[in-house]
Copies of this chain bind each other. A is one copy, B any other.
Amino acid sequence: MSNIAENVIFGQNVTIGNNVTIKAGCILEDNIVLGDNTYIDFGTIIHSNVEIGENTVIGARCILGEYLVDFYEDRINKNHKLEIGKNSLIRSETIIYGDNKIGAYFQTGHRVTIRENSKIGEHVRIGTLSDIQGNCEIQDYVSMHSNVHIGMKSVIKKYAMIFPYVVLTNDPNPPSESLMGVTIEEFAIVATGTVVLPGKTIGNGALVGAGSIVTKDVAADSIAVGNPAKDHGPTEKIKDAITGEQVYPWRYTFDRGMPWEGIGYNQWIEGRE
C-alpha cells in the first residue's frame, strides 16, 4: 500500500514499511530501511546503510548517508550507518553523512550539513544552512537557528539555544592538530553572530549577547557581551522592555517546543522528580 514513483532507482536490500511515499527522481542504494509512513520527496539520494524511523518526512533533494572521506580512496562506500529517528522532519537539500545516530523528533531547515560522528539527541532542531562539522555531541531539545557553525568536538547540552551566525571554534593555535571543543551548558543562550573561542565553556543558563567574541569561560546564569566578551552581571536582572517582567531564567517564560510546553517548567520538573 505504498506510493512509489515509477522512475525511482533501487539498489539491493531496500526494506520499505507500510504506507510509504517515494516521489519521482529518488535514488536509494543498498541496505536501506524506511519505516512505516515515511515520506521521501522528489529527487532525494539515499546512499547505502541508512535507516529512517517511522513517520519521518525527508524533503526534496536531500543526500542521506553522504560519503565519508574513505569513499574517495577507492570509490567504494564503506559501512557507515546513518540512523534517523522517528517523527523527524528533514527539510529540502539537507546533507547528512554516514556514521550518525540522530534521535526522534529531529527537525532541520534547508541545506543543513551534518558530518560524521555527530551524536544528536531527541527533539533537536537545526536551522537552514547550519553546518555541523562532526564529532560533536548535541543533546536533547537543543535548538540552533540558521547558519550556525559547530566545530568538531563541541558539546551542546540540553535546552541550549544557539542563534544565527554563531561559530563554535576548536583550534587554539591555528593551524594545529590539538583541537579543543567548546562546551555549551544546559539552558545557555548564545545570541546572533557570536564566536566562541576553542575550549571555552558557556555556563548553565548564561546569556551571551549578540556579536560577542567569547575568549574566556562564561559563568552560569551570567551575561557576557562584547568583543572581547565581558561579564555584565546576572541574567536575573534583565527585564522585558515592554512588560517590565523578569525574563531569565527563560525556562519559566518560554515553552514552545520544550518538554514543559503547556505545563510550565515547575510543574513539569516536579512531575519528573
Which of A's residues lie within 8 Å of B, judged by CB? 9, 21, 24-25, 27, 39, 42-43, 45, 57, 59-61, 63, 66-67, 72, 75, 89, 92-93, 95, 109-111, 113, 128-129, 131, 133, 143, 146-147, 149, 151, 161, 163-165, 167, 169, 171-178, 189, 191-193, 195, 197, 207, 210-211, 213, 226-227, 238, 240-242, 247, 250, 253-254, 256
Contact = CB atoms under 8 A, between A and B. Distances in A.
B146 A149 contact: yes
Contact of A66 (B92, B191, B227): B92
A78 B39 CA distance: 17
A254 B195 contact: no
Nearest to A178: B242
A186 to B, nearest CB: 14
A45 B43 contact: yes
Contacts of A57: 72, 75
B149 A174 contact: no
A177 B254 contact: yes
25 contacts: A9-B24, A24-B27, A25-B27, A27-B43, A43-B43, A60-B63, A63-B92, A63-B93, A66-B110, A72-B89, A111-B111, A113-B128, A129-B129, A149-B165, A151-B164, A161-B175, A163-B169, A172-B240, A173-B240, A174-B189, A174-B191, A175-B254, A176-B240, A177-B256, A195-B211
Given A164-B167, A169-B210, A172-B241, 20 more contacts: A9-B24, A25-B27, A57-B75, A59-B67, A61-B63, A66-B92, A72-B89, A93-B95, A113-B129, A128-B131, A146-B149, A149-B164, A151-B164, A161-B174, A173-B238, A173-B247, A176-B240, A192-B195, A195-B211, A210-B213
A91 to B, nearest CB: 8
Contacts of A247: 173, 176
Nearest to A66: B92
A110 B92 contact: no
A236 to B, nearest CB: 13
